[in-house]
Amino acid sequence: MKMKQARLFKLILAALCMAMAYLLPFVTGQMAELGQMLCPMHLPVLLCGFLCGWPWGLVVGAVAPLLRSLTLGMPPLFPAALCMTLELAAYGAVSGLLHRLLPPKKPYIYASLVAAMLVGRLIWGGAMFLCLGGVGGSFTLAAFLAGTFTNAIPGIILQIVVIPVLVMVLDNPKKRL
């Protein structure tokens, strides 16, 4: 019975993370530049990976940008939402997998977070390169660096400050499945 309760709890928590990924961009929605800088969808996806595990993090990360794109038109489906889907799926999967494999100590939470952020951003860059190259466009190294790091510095700082604190407060390693 305890196993079913834990799974139900993870389902509910993942649904809450999905709702936050859907709703948080409304906070920054009035100013597109602010949304691109703060990356509001990234926070709940990373948190989902840490708290619910890699399968849930992967699913929430893959579904959230597509759901917002198909229901609200933001982000635009091609190439933004498609590339974000791969990026956020990687965030959720890598953060959850590393958090499960590494000891539940503060340095390892940061290591899992940074690794997930780097892998996700590299996947986003590769996806943008393929998507834009496939339609005759180009995706330069300067565009990659601007999109992944330079323009997102406030969001990166926010993720590094907020996510580990929330994980340390909300995660109970004894209850991990």
Q: What is the pTM of this model?
A: 0.93
Task: Write out pLDDT tens, residues 22-67.
Answer: 999 998 876 767 777 899 999 999 999 999 999 999 999 999 999 9
- For the chain, strand residue ranges (E) read none
Q: Which CATH number fits domain 2-175: 1.10.287.3510, 1.10.10.60, 3.30.70.2190, 1.10.1760.20?
A: 1.10.1760.20
Contact between 24 and 67 under an 8 Å Cβ cutoff? The reply is no
How do the domains of the chain map onto residue ranges?
A: 2-175
Please report the pLDDT score of residue 54 as a whole number.
Answer: 98
Give whole-number Cα distances, 130 to 16, 112, 125, 138, 176, in Å: 32, 27, 9, 9, 37
Please report the pLDDT score of residue 172 as a whole number.
Answer: 73
* Residue 96 pLDDT exceeds 90: yes
Q: What is the SS3 assignment for 151?
A: coil
pLDDT band (50, 70, 90) for residue 167:
very high
Please report the pLDDT score of residue 143 as a whole number.
Answer: 87
Contact between 49 and 100 under an 8 Å Cβ cutoff? The reply is no
Please give the residue that has the higher pLDDT: either 139 or 167.
Answer: 167
Please report the pLDDT score of residue 174 as a whole number.
Answer: 57
Please report the pLDDT score of residue 153 as a whole number.
Answer: 93
69: tokens are 């794109």
Q: What is the SS3 assignment for 138?
A: coil
46: left (phi over 0), alpha (psi -120 to 50) or beta: alpha
- Compute the distance between CA of residue 26 and CA of residue 112 in angstroms, rounded to an integer: 28
* Residue 2 pLDDT exceeds 80: yes
Please report the pLDDT score of residue 90 as a whole number.
Answer: 98
First to last CA, the chain: 13
Task: Write out pLDDT tens, residues 109-162.
Answer: 999 999 999 999 999 999 999 999 878 788 888 889 888 888 889 999 999 999
